[in-house]
């Protein structure tokens, strides 16, 4: 278990540890999207990861990094979806119980995913307070070990392996874009760019309707979003001390986009890459398209974070 910012060696070790349990996800590209962006864009498809999201990397790594004795009463977490599935999958692999506190408005495919993995589900109101209280109760009752969705260096080291893989295949990237919610993926991406590539600058895309990270990045301390209203349901959380610390050190900028821009980018991906992504996952491409001049003629990597979307709620008419 890591107690400080993951080193290069930590991330290499993490990758070896989780490699047998995760998918080496493909990197896709599209001539049409390149043309629209005025850049060469390489999409690291974590929507094709186990459980349909990069979160499998961090969840599995955190669970495998615990001592046997620590997990004997199971693991628990709170999550609106993808981290929940990651912890449920990790628990299934370890043969221990998983307790998941989920907001009662979590998307159906994510809820079904957790149930399908055999975890015990506890619904709560969709507030951070209700989620944290729910987890506290579970820990008191069961002795389960808490795995935080992002304020956890083992989770961050796990998420870092996505861009490590991308950089193994495309070592000359000028930039890497990732979405930012709690900052686990973004801080991991920042670390991998710093350790495994001298050149690539890291940017985040963030929804205007959950714009906490951009404020925190400017002020240097964890801030709340002025308001929450976005289709990108995976990016609602604030940063934590751990993720903000790494982001300040490794990220170049955080770029805001609105829901229309997010949905236009999502549609581009569906139609041209022929893959399914969730709205949160479209945020970095939306940010790239909105800031084309920043990335002109560059080689740009985008981490596509996940594909757990309720298709019945999307309309393409």
CA 22 remoteness from chain centre? 15
**Residue 273 in contact with a copy of itself, rule: CB under 8 A:** yes
**Residue 6 in contact with a copy of itself, rule: CB under 8 A:** no
- CB nearer to a copy of itself: give 55 or 201: 55
Q: Rule CB under 8 A: choose which of 62, 213, 277, 288 binds a copy of itself.
A: 277
**Residue 48 in contact with a copy of itself, rule: CB under 8 A:** yes
Least Å from the CB of residue 103 to a copy of itself = 22
Only one residue has tokens 């300040």, namely 248
Only one residue has tokens 């399914």, namely 276
Q: Rule CB under 8 A: choose which of 74, 103, 109, 158 binds a copy of itself.
A: 109
- CB nearer to a copy of itself: give 13 or 29: 29
Q: Pattern of binders to a copy of itself over 130-169, x per CB under 8 A?
A: ----------------------------------------
* H or E stretch covering 34: helix 31-37
Nearest to 56 by CA among 141, 114, 121, 140: 114
Catalytic residue among 50, 65, 79, 80: 80
Least Å from the CB of residue 230 to a copy of itself = 21
**Residue 118 in contact with a copy of itself, rule: CB under 8 A:** no
Catalytic residue among 44, 50, 55, 201: 55
Q: Around 200, how many Cα atoms within 13 Å sit in the side-chain half-sphere?
A: 29
**Residue 123 in contact with a copy of itself, rule: CB under 8 A:** no
Structure tokens that stand for 56 in this block: 């499998």
Active site residue 55: yes
**Residue 276 in contact with a copy of itself, rule: CB under 8 A:** yes
DSSP code string of 71-117: HTT-EEEE-SSHHHHHHHHHHHHHT--EEEEEETT--HHHHHHHHHT
**Residue 305 in contact with a copy of itself, rule: CB under 8 A:** no
Q: Rule CB under 8 A: choose which of 14, 47, 80, 240 binds a copy of itself.
A: 47
CA 66 remoteness from chain centre? 21
Least Å from the CB of residue 23 to a copy of itself = 8
Least Å from the CB of residue 311 to a copy of itself = 4
Tell me phi and psi for residue 116, to 5 degrees: -60, -25
Contacts of 147 (CB under 8 A, 6+ apart): 59, 62, 63, 75, 76, 77, 87, 90, 155
Cα dihedral 46, 50, 54, 59, rounded to 10, equals -170
Catalytic residues: 55, 80
Q: Which chain residues interact with a copy of itself by CB under 8 A?
A: 23, 26, 28, 32, 47-48, 52, 109, 116, 270-271, 273-277, 307, 311-312, 314-317
């Amino acid at each position: 278990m890591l107690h400080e910012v993951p080193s290069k060696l930590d991330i290499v070790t993490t990758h070896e540890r989780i490699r047998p349990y995760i998918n080496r996800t493909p990197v896709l590209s599209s001539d049409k999207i390149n043309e629209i962006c005025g850049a060469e864009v390489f999409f690291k498809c974590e929507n094709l990861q186990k459980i349909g999201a990069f979160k499998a990397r961090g969840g599995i790594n955190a669970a495998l990094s615990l001592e046997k004795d620590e997990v004997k009463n199971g693991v628990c977490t709170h999550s609106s979806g993808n981290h929940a599935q990651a912890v449920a999958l990790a628990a299934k692999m370890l043969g221990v119980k998983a307790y998941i506190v989920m907001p009662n408005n979590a998307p159906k495919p994510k809820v079904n995913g957790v149930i399908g993995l055999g975890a015990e589900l506890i619904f709560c109101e969709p507030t951070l307070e209700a989620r944290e209280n729910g987890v506290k109760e579970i820990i008191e009752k069961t002795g389960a070990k808490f795995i935080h969705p992002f304020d956890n260096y083992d989770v961050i080291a796990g998420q870092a392996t996505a861009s490590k893989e991308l950089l193994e295949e495309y070592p000359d990237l000028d930039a890497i874009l990732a979405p930012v919610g709690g900052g686990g993926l973004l801080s991991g991406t920042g670390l991998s760019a710093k350790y495994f590539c001298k050149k690539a600058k890291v940017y985040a895309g963030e929804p205007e309707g959950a714009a906490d990270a951009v404020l925190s990045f400017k002020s240097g301390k964890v801030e709340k979003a002025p308001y929450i209203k976005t289709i990108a349901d995976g990016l609602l959380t604030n940063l934590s001390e751990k993720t903000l610390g790494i982001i300040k050190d490794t990220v170049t900028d955080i770029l805001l986009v609105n829901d229309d821009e997010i949905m236009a980018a999502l549609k581009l991906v569906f139609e041209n890459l022929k893959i399914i992504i969730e709205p949160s996952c479209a945020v970095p491409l939306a940010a790239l398209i909105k800031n084309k001049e920043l990335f002109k003629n560059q080689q740009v990597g985008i981490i596509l974070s996940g594909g757990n979307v309720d298709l019945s709620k999307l309309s393409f008419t």
